[in-house]
Amino acid sequence: MTGVDLAEEYIAEARQASRLLPAEWILGDMRQLTWHGEFDGAFCFGNSFGYLDPDEAGGFLQAVSRALKPGSRFVIETGMAAESILPNRQTTRWFRLGDLYMLSENQYHPREGRLDIEYTFLRDGKAEKRPSSSYVLTVNEICRMHVAAGLQPEDLLGSINGEPYQLGSPRLILVSVKQ
């Protein structure tokens, strides 16, 4: 098993959590995978795909496709599919985790297909703001990008429990096969 992440802290956490497993953790950019036909499968879970603009996302899918053996499966999970994020989008939301409060304020830019989010974290009377941007693509666009990269979409799921993806599903899990 091989994992790639751009964040040193996530690589360190993965190494610690899997120290008894035969796993290799590489600090690197998922858009710059260098393998060719080496893997029996791959997955990308979390919001990392949504941070890539459409050109970068296509490059990432090309890199994954190159790294896979023919017939291998690739599973990608994202909450940034337009059919997931836009129907239920709230411009402002509050979250609480123990003594930490988080305010999420977002603005959707349809022309760019981008959702800008400003997170405000409140703890002990102190506020810290962090901006974030994600690209919002339709499921059709994501599937076409997979096909262009040599990955044939096989299944669209709404969760890891296997229910079919539909408008308003909170997550898209797309299973594709390397051609």
For residue 24, the domain's CATH number is: 3.40.50.150
pLDDT digits (tens, 9 = 90+) for 102-124: 999 999 999 999 999 999 999 99
Same domain, 66 and 115: no
Same domain, 57 and 126: no
Q: What is the mean pLDDT of the chain?
A: 96
Tell me what pLDDT residue 178 has: 98
pLDDT digits (tens, 9 = 90+) for 114-172: 999 999 999 999 999 999 999 999 999 999 999 999 999 999 999 999 999 999 999 99
Same domain, 122 and 169: no
Same domain, 77 and 16: yes
Same domain, 100 and 67: no
Same domain, 34 and 8: yes
Tally of domains in the chain: 2
Same domain, 27 and 110: no
Same domain, 140 and 66: yes
For residue 108, the domain's CATH number is: 2.20.25
pLDDT digits (tens, 9 = 90+) for 63-87: 999 999 999 999 999 999 999 999 9
Same domain, 22 and 98: no
What 3 state SS string does the chain have?
Answer: CEEEECCHHHHHHHHHHCCCCCCEEEECCHHHCCCCCCEEEEEECCCHHHHCCHHHHHHHHHHHHHHEEEEEEEEEEECCEHHHHCCCCCCEEEEEECCEEEEEEEEEECCCCEEEEEEEEEECCEEEEEEEEEECECHHHHHHHHHHCCEEEEEEECCCCCCECCCCCCCEEEEEEEC
Same domain, 156 and 167: yes
Does pLDDT of 47 surpass 90? no
Q: Is the pTM of this model over 0.85?
A: yes
Provide the domain limits for residue 17: 2-81+136-178
